[in-house]
Structure 1
Amino acid sequence: MGARGNEEEGAWRLRLDRSTGGRMLHLGAQRSFAILRCAKIKTMGNMGASLQHSFRERDTPNADARRTSDNTVLVGGDTSRAVLEAWKDRAPEKIRSNAVHGLEYFVGGSPEALKAMSRDEQDAYFTDALDWLKARHGAENVLSAVIHRDETTPHMTVMTIPLDERGKLNARALVGSRDQLSAMQTDFAERVGKAHGLERGLQGSPARHERVQRAYAHLTDPDAALSLPERRRGAILGLGGETEAEWRERASEAASDALRGVQAARHRETRAHAVELFTLKQQVTGTPKMQEEVSNLQYENRRLQRELKATGTRAELIAKENRRLRAVQDGLVAGGKAFAKEKGLDEKALVTRLHTAAKEALDAFDAPAAKPAARTRAQPKSAIEHAPKAKPAVQEQVRDEPAAEHRIKPKDDAWDDGQ
């Protein structure tokens, strides 16, 4: 086809485009879109898995581990556990079983547009988006915001707790309907995206609906065969047909949509497995609060074991000392018996006197410290005073036997009772 033929085909295409509402003008145009997506987090297990993905605490195949240090935490702690604790601090005491626990936002843009931005321009876009979310939710309800630069396209994930003015979990008031979501995306594009050269995506676009349907087909069946679209040949003289470049673009879109569906399906499976693993881990190890309590109990148990060991050591020393005292006592009794037998004294009376003196000494030792004076006035000369004097008397008798005043009474005379 010559130059004139190309001009005629171009004029025909322009007329056809005008007759269809101008939709065909967008097929070849390069546009930059602001992207805002919102996901409902319905359980703590889902929240934990999502946060572990954000902080790269588990394997993330689509992220480059060499660039993880380029990620930036704008709000909240730098671990999933810290954000979960922040959620617990904000959550109400009573939570419905079907309540949405969190709303996670994905903030991004067309890959070509974001890659064309400088680092400062990207930061400015994400900061404005974060301010918009804070105004929408309340700054205190934005628990975490992380910019990811270790994936193909820079983006930001934001975790919020959907509290209403009464302090109740109420995601429905924020994103409860399709109209609310559409209005939210429009407002985001107007207030945030436009200032950074990003516009809102087409609403109700048939082409977009067709692409979503293709992606959804592979999302529900990742192993489905990929079928490329046939090239439109047109009617008479090829009018209404598409060029080789246009067909290649449509075929490339079909392949990309199928791949996106497969990736989303695999990501969903991976996320489901992560949720299941996180739930099982919590069942085994408990929640962070339970783990802290277990750690405290383990510390207290170790302290008590150390005290018990020290007490056992002291008990062994006391038992050894008791055995030593019993040995001394047995030695004294045996010596007393031998001495009485040798000197012709009343052996039984001597042993009884020794036991009585020992008992009186123990009673005086065990008496309460608060009543020492009363016991001293109420009782005559205590057994403690008898005991030390009786022993030297016996020893003195052994050393100086002729002294008659130190002799013990003969066997036929009874021992006095210490009065």
Structure 2
Amino acid sequence: MSKFCILRIKKLHGDGNIAGAISHHLRTRKTDNANPELMRKNWFYPNDGIGSDFVSLDNRKRYQRQALSIFRKRLPEKIRKNAVRAVEFMMTVSPEVMKIPGFNPVKYMAECTKWARKKFGSENVFFVAYHRDETTPHVSLLLTPIDEKGKLNARKFFGGREKMTALQDDFYREVGRPFGLERGVKGSKAKHQSIRIFYSEINGREENLRNEAKAIANDIINKSAPKLEQIIRKYEKLSNMTPEEFSDYYKQKHSPRKNRNIGTGMEY
């Protein structure tokens, strides 16, 4: 079972990108992979303190204005045209971790935020969201990459493979390991997905699992008793698959018949 702590970052260059990211995280615009009924479980900074009403759209729009105000006040007077103005963090766990008895996602998200504030300076963190309205809880955090001279300097913190590897090491050591989680494979050639694609695929996988559960129920209802043992064996095999194996199985099962024999080296 995968038990990874996960850290993804994205560099943001324009004010429009930053405003769009905050709007997405605060759900002030339509967010397809979020369940509106679970909005009450989310938490945001900035906010109104204890007892903040995060369900209210008016409040969330106000928090958005406050976050942008904090961001703009942190910017230096002189900014290079191509400067990275903010960095977006997504901190979470592999979905299987949520099944571990005793794992506390709220405590984990709090430790993620604590780590980021300590690493990059609390004064540079201008927005935080704890998202519990999606399949896997996660932290979305935005900060200004300002160095000790007061300049925007994303390269100092995130420039080059060595610094990014060291950042992942530190995140694992300070956050992941205390929760019994694992670090991703060092030196992996795997390409990181964008934050939104990453979560849309997780939610898509959950939808596929629900579809297979319905298929199991229909098989049991429609098949005769002597075939029930065969059906049970089939779906026991599915239940033991890793998420990646299940995704491959589902794609093969539901792809058009003419494509079912396409080799694994093909992209489709």
What TM-score do you get using the length of structure 1 for normalisation?
0.43
Q: Does 1:252 align with 2:222?
A: no
Distance in 2 of aligned mates of 1:168 and 1:65: 39
- Provide the residue aligned with 1:41 in structure 2: 12
| TM superposition shift of 1:189 | 0.5
Q: What SS is found at the alignment partner of 1:113?
A: helix
- Provide the residue aligned with 2:105 in structure 1: 122
Where do residues 256-405 of structure 1 align in structure 2 (5 Å cutoff)?
Answer: none
Q: Does 1:54 align with 2:48?
A: no
| TM superposition shift of 1:180 | 0.9
| TM superposition shift of 1:252 | 3.1
Does structure 2 conserve the Cα–Cα contact (< 8 Å) formed by 1:36 and 1:108? yes
- Provide the residue aligned with 2:46 in structure 1: 76
- Specify whether residues 93 and 125 from structure 1 end up closer, same or farther in structure 2 by C-alpha distance, changes over 3 A only: same
Q: What SS is found at the alignment partner of 2:187?
A: coil
Structure 2 counterpart of 1:191, one-letter code: E
Instruction: Determine which structure has greater relative contact order: mean sequence separation of CA pairs < 8 Å that are 6+ residues apart, divided by chain length.
Output: 2
Specify which of 172, 183, 188 is matched with residue 200 of structure 1.
Answer: 183
Distance in 1 of aligned mates of 2:26 and 2:160: 30
- Specify whether residues 160 and 205 from structure 1 end up closer, same or farther in structure 2 by C-alpha distance, changes over 3 A only: closer
| TM superposition shift of 1:195 | 0.6
| TM superposition shift of 1:76 | 2.2
| TM superposition shift of 1:114 | 2.9
- Specify whether residues 113 and 93 from structure 1 end up closer, same or farther in structure 2 by C-alpha distance, changes over 3 A only: same
- Provide the residue aligned with 2:94 in structure 1: 110
Where do residues 218-237 of structure 1 align in structure 2 (5 Å cutoff)?
Answer: none
Q: What SS is found at the alignment partner of 1:38?
A: strand
Q: What SS is found at the alignment partner of 1:46?
A: helix
| TM superposition shift of 1:115 | 4.7
Specify which of 104, 113, 125 is matched with residue 142 of structure 1.
Answer: 125
Does structure 1 conserve the Cα–Cα contact (< 8 Å) formed by 2:14 and 2:85? yes
Structure 2 counterpart of 1:173, one-letter code: K
Q: What SS is found at the alignment partner of 1:114?
A: helix
Q: What SS is found at the alignment partner of 2:164?
A: helix
Does structure 2 conserve the Cα–Cα contact (< 8 Å) formed by 1:190 and 1:199? no
| TM superposition shift of 1:254 | 3.8
Does structure 2 conserve the Cα–Cα contact (< 8 Å) formed by 1:105 and 1:157? yes
- Provide the residue aligned with 1:241 in structure 2: none
Q: Stretches of 4+ moved more than 6 A in 1? A: 255-258
Q: Does 1:189 align with 2:172?
A: yes
- Provide the residue aligned with 1:159 in structure 2: 142
Q: What SS is found at the alignment partner of 1:92?
A: coil
Q: What SS is found at the alignment partner of 1:194?
A: helix
Structure 2 counterpart of 1:68, one-letter code: M
Distance in 1 of aligned mates of 2:113 and 2:134: 20
Does structure 1 conserve the Cα–Cα contact (< 8 Å) formed by 2:112 and 2:139? no
Structure 1 counterpart of 2:71, one-letter code: W
- Specify whether residues 117 and 188 from structure 1 end up closer, same or farther in structure 2 by C-alpha distance, changes over 3 A only: farther
Distance in 2 of aligned mates of 1:93 and 1:254: 51
| TM superposition shift of 1:70 | 0.7
Distance in 2 of aligned mates of 1:43 and 1:194: 35
Specify which of 65, 72, 85 is matched with residue 101 of structure 1.
Answer: 85
Distance in 2 of aligned mates of 1:131 and 1:111: 22
Distance in 2 of aligned mates of 1:130 and 1:182: 19
Distance in 2 of aligned mates of 1:111 and 1:89: 37
Q: Pairwise CA RMSD of aligned residues?
A: 2.9
- Specify whether residues 144 and 257 from structure 1 end up closer, same or farther in structure 2 by C-alpha distance, changes over 3 A only: farther
Please identify the structure whose Cα radius of gyration is greater.
Answer: 1
- Specify whether residues 251 and 34 from structure 1 end up closer, same or farther in structure 2 by C-alpha distance, changes over 3 A only: closer
| TM superposition shift of 1:193 | 0.6
- Specify whether residues 256 and 154 from structure 1 end up closer, same or farther in structure 2 by C-alpha distance, changes over 3 A only: farther
**Alignment deviations for residues 15-40 of structure 1 (CA, whole Å, 9 cap, x no partner):** xxxxxxxxxxxxxxx13000011110
- Specify whether residues 190 and 95 from structure 1 end up closer, same or farther in structure 2 by C-alpha distance, changes over 3 A only: same
- Specify whether residues 118 and 76 from structure 1 end up closer, same or farther in structure 2 by C-alpha distance, changes over 3 A only: farther
Does structure 2 conserve the Cα–Cα contact (< 8 Å) formed by 1:145 and 1:159? yes
- Provide the residue aligned with 2:218 in structure 1: none
- Specify whether residues 54 and 164 from structure 1 end up closer, same or farther in structure 2 by C-alpha distance, changes over 3 A only: same
Q: Does 1:169 align with 2:134?
A: no
